[in-house]
Structure 1
């Protein structure tokens, strides 16, 4: 078992620059990659267990059925899971693969959170000792070329994480992924589909307030990197569906006027009462959108696995 760390250290300039650029902008933003420190990863695991958060309840059985269909294609291949987080989804997938096939595979979990990679790698090693595991701590949007490519690969991007990207960024992601994929490499892409808006908004405004805590935790991560003292309690969680862009938006709205000091720069950032910091988007897709994304990466859509209500899809694509 190998863990390779490609992420910048806490407080390094590239990280600070991203955060500062977002806080200085109008409207203010914090990139969603900063959700996932150790606490953020724990909170997201809790979100996936919530009754209101429907994607995992649909995606899990789809993962099992997809793995059964593809099991023979997985022999002597590498599985690269982008944004792997905890190992719950890939475990469902691997459970359906025969042990003799698993013994020929190498699993590459790729995630920004080193603790999540280490925890999931240990759990998977214990559960599937026959599988080689090579964890990579990295931002897959920036380090795609670092992923080994000597054998046939199945790229897995579960949970509709691609929906967190802007339209332009998701197209760029698919283009970059297509450039590193070899002919006949495959992608299994989780995609949250367009549906009744009340269902979507409920999923991001759970009654227990776990999503709200997850959203506010991004301010703790910001404090760790910038040395600021932003109080998450000074912000309220806001999540709503933007019809124009077919996406959920998550924001943090200031409850009072605030002045944030950046110690190293002797700089002050003013946040007025009611002003919002944009933290995340989650796009919802149509079949036409799926085809456009595949085309951007030079991929063909092989099959779309979905539920009876067509709320969530796992899309199998192959590199031309």
Structure 2
């Protein structure tokens, strides 16, 4: 296993400036990347096991069945997983690919977390010793030109991660990917589909309050970085479907008038009761949205694999 590190050194001061800029903006925001400290990651793991969180129960079987349908296209390819994170999804996918095809694959995970990549790489190497692994420690949104194009490439962007990007970022991402892809390169893209609003909102407002705790934990992360005195109990978790933008939005709403201060900066952050911090978007897609994304990238939609309810889809696109 090889891992190349292309991540720039980002000092704590840069992190602090980013957080302060977001909290001073109108409306106030906190970047969703800060959800995932150790506690946040543990809470998200709990979320994936909740009854209301439908995605894993649909995506995992769909990954398995889709891998069987596309496995001939994986022979002698560079298998590139964008934002690889842990290896749970790629493991399911590879397990459904015949060993004689796996032996011809070189797997290229790309992720900002070197620790996660090393941990996942060791697990995968033990489980699939026949596969070559070449990790790229980088932000895939900025580093697509680092992906070797000496063989056909099969790009994977699992989960519904693309839904967390803004529409502008999604357009930028698809255009860039289309430019990087060579003829006959393929993309398997996970998209969470538009569905009954009650189903969507329940998934982000679970009865045990785990998602609320996950959302509020970002305030503790901010405290750790910029010395603020946020009290999560002063905020209410709010998640709803914004029909105009076809997305679930997560916010933290102040329960009372607040003044948040820090020893690291003189300026105080003022909240009126009802003011919010926007913490995350999760866009949901229609079939038309899928074709629009493909057109943006100059790709052809080869197939759309979905569950029986059409709640989640894996979209195969090809560069012709």
Q: Under a length normalisation based on structure 2, what TM-score does the superposition of the two structures give? A: 0.92
Distance 1:295 1:16, change over 3 A: farther
Q: Deviations over 1:239-266 (max 9, x none)?
A: 1111111111001122333333354443
Q: Give the aligned partner of residue 133 of structure 1.
A: 133
Q: Give the aligned partner of residue 310 of structure 2.
A: 310
Q: Give the aligned partner of residue 226 of structure 1.
A: 226
Task: Check if 1:142 corresponds to 2:146.
Answer: no
Bigger mean CA deviation after superposition, 282-291 or 263-272:
263-272
Mapping for residues 39-78 of structure 1, pairs under 5 Å: 39-78=39-78
Task: Give the CA RMSD over aligned residues.
Answer: 2.1
Secondary structure (helix, strand or coil) at the match of 2:85 reads coil
Distance 2:6 2:220 in 1: 22
Secondary structure (helix, strand or coil) at the match of 1:268 reads strand
Q: Deviations over 1:195-241 (max 9, x none)?
A: 11000101111122221222222223333433434333332211111
Task: Check if 1:38 corresponds to 2:38.
Answer: yes
Secondary structure (helix, strand or coil) at the match of 1:159 reads coil
Q: Give the aligned partner of residue 80 of structure 2.
A: 80
Distance 1:14 1:155, change over 3 A: farther
Q: Deviations over 1:24-44 (max 9, x none)?
A: 111111122222333333322
Distance 1:299 1:265 in 2: 48
Q: Deviations over 1:110-169 (max 9, x none)?
A: 233333323222221221122222333333223333333332211111111111122222
Bigger mean CA deviation after superposition, 173-182 or 146-155:
146-155
Q: Where does structure 2 lack aligned partners over 5 or more consecutive residues?
A: none
Q: Where does structure 1 lack aligned partners over 5 or more consecutive residues?
A: none
Distance 1:278 1:310 in 2: 29
Mapping for residues 142-291 of structure 1, pairs under 5 Å: 142-291=142-291
Distance 1:174 1:157 in 2: 11
Distance 1:276 1:78 in 2: 44
Distance 1:108 1:38, change over 3 A: farther
Aligned residue-pair number = 320
Q: Under a length normalisation based on structure 1, what TM-score does the superposition of the two structures give? A: 0.92
Bigger mean CA deviation after superposition, 194-203 or 143-152:
143-152
> In 2, are the aligned partners of 1:10 and 1:224 still within 8 Å (CA)?
no
Distance 2:221 2:114 in 1: 14
